[in-house]
Amino acid sequence: MKISIWAVWLILLPLGLWFLYQTYPPKIDGNTSDILAFLLFMSVVASMPMMINGRPVFFLQWASLSVFLIFGLFIETVLVQLALIPILLQLRLSQETRFRLPLNSSMFFLVSISSGLIYYGLGGKHAADILWYPNSLFLVILYPLIYFLLNAILIFFISQVVYQRKEKFFTLDLGWEFVTTLITYPVGIALYIMYKQIGLIALVLIGIPFISLSVILRLYHSSRTVNDYLKEIAELGHQLTQNLQVKETIAFFTNSLYKLFKLDFVFIHEVDESNALTMIARVENKRVFPSFPGVLLINEGICGNVFSTKEPAIYHQKREWLPINKGYMPMETESVLAIPLLKNEQVIGILIVGSKKKRAFVHVPLMVLQLLCSQFAVAFENAKYFEKTKEFSERCALTKLYNYCFFEQLLTSKFQELKSSQINQLVLIMLDIDYFKSINDTYGHQAGNEVLVEFAKRIKYLVGNKGIVARYGGEEFSILLTNINIQEASELAEFIRRMIEIHSFTIKQSMKSQPAKIKITASIGLASAPHDADEPLALIKHADRALYTGAKQAGRNRVARYVK
């Protein structure tokens, strides 16, 4: 298809221009400078579309209308083709989309020829005196309407055939373009009338105010766009501060980036305590992937450079960032934008966004993106602090298991689930290390702490995802199991007791000169709900009683169930 488009264009353009030159030869009559002035004006108009209602509106057609009426079809066709060059250059087309050059050129060429031939066929002439001849005025008014209709039909055809889009002919965009046509084409007619009266000065009198208005509207649109971004970011910042989990905060931030900007890739690197950068988030085409391991150092790669300079870095195509890149970057990436995540003037991380298109971030409001990054940096640090504080309040600082306070709250909530039939049974296992005091007395309290840490790791590993393990206090531990019967729980408890008994514990920080290996045992008690207890404290009391009465007093190193 792309090759065919180029082939058609290479044949159509030369033959079409030759046909026009032979059929409707241009009558320049020494007006070369005027034609060049109109070419310059049309190029400026084409490269500076007005932003109306958030849409770029190109007003090349009304300028070409004046040229058509003054100089004829051949000059108008040639100048339109030349004026298209600034528009197409602004698109920064990649190799895959470069076929749009001949496609758009052919489209304008066919519309110019077709509408001009219809105008001539109806009896219209260029340089006609439309002020004194109503029939000429009617044809001049009819010409832009024909031009608009043919242009709309051809765009619809290309959309259906070339781009395979299933769109309706009558759309909101078509209606809006029709309205702008009705508004702007009278300006082209006025330019034609004034040019016949006062010459090239008409181009100055009409062209400069029009271009000035275009610039003002573009500036207004830019400021309005920034204001809209700021409003959106203010709302996103408020929502960011409500996320108190690190993963939720990162997910919300990356989703917001995809919502606000056209991106393909998002990577977030965090600065660790050694000032190295570690990837903590990797999102490609809105899909979350595991982050890659490894670290980047200061001045190493894109991230390292941004970290050291504390300034954003933007790369418009692959050949700019590829020589300095370290670490992972999808090879289909073209444009890359890296922003430092700053809090209190300190870099806490680096955001990297990528696009498969070249120059994708030329028009991204960098100030707005930096503001969003600053809000994320604060929210991210707050979430980390909250999680750390929560961990300290819920977990034992030594063993990293849940503590007594958290365990009691968990047990209460599980009883509520039990009463509402969300779960059908609870089993509480209480464990106590036998003769723990003698370990402290013989090897020292630091050695006792080592035993507690290793004991906690083993229990947590043996229980796995079957239940919740907590340090209840001192050398006593607890395991809460849900939806398991007492027999299965007893078998698990016996398995844990046996594993503790047969595997030695290594003490490295002993009062004695050499590390020591010791054997320890544990006594275990069980109670279940609702069979043995109907409230949390009763379940704890009964499991504790089974531990001390059924296991400890019976000789230790055994498992005992609560007996009423």
Whether the CB-CB separation of 525 and 544 falls below 8 Å is answered with yes
Residue 350 · residue 309 · CB < 8 Å? no
Return the H-helix or E-strand segment holding 212: helix 201-242
**Pairing of the two strands 467-473 and 522-529:** unpaired
Tokens of 208: 């400069």
* Strands 516-518 vs 50-52: parallel, antiparallel or unpaired: unpaired
**Phi, psi values for residue 337, rounded to 5°:** -130, 125
231 neighbors 66 (Cβ within 8 angstroms): no
Single-letter code of the amino acid located at 267: F
519 sits in which H/E element: none
Q: Establish how many alpha carbons lie within 13 A of residue 352's alpha carbon, considering only the half-sphere containing its beta carbon.
A: 33
Strand ranges for 219-345 from DSSP E: 265-271, 277-284, 287-289, 295-296, 313-315, 335-343
> Alpha helices, DSSP H only, in 73-171?
73-90, 100-121, 134-161
Please tell me the distance from the alpha carbon of residue 302 to that of residue 277, in angstroms, as a whole number. 11
Amino acid at 222: S
Does 475 qualify as catalytic in the annotation? yes
Check 177, 270, 450, 475 and give the catalytic one. Answer: 475
Single-letter residue type at 555: G
Q: What DSSP letter does each residue of 378-423 carry, written as one string?
A: HHHHHHHHHHHHHHHHHB-TTT-SB-HHHHHHHHHHHHHHHHTTSS
Other beta carbons within 10 angstroms of residue 78's beta carbon come to 20
CA distance 557 to 494: 10
Nearest to 527 by CA among 497, 486, 558: 486
Give, rounded to a whole angstrom, the gap between the first and last alpha carbons of the chain. 85
Q: Which residues are catalytic?
A: 475
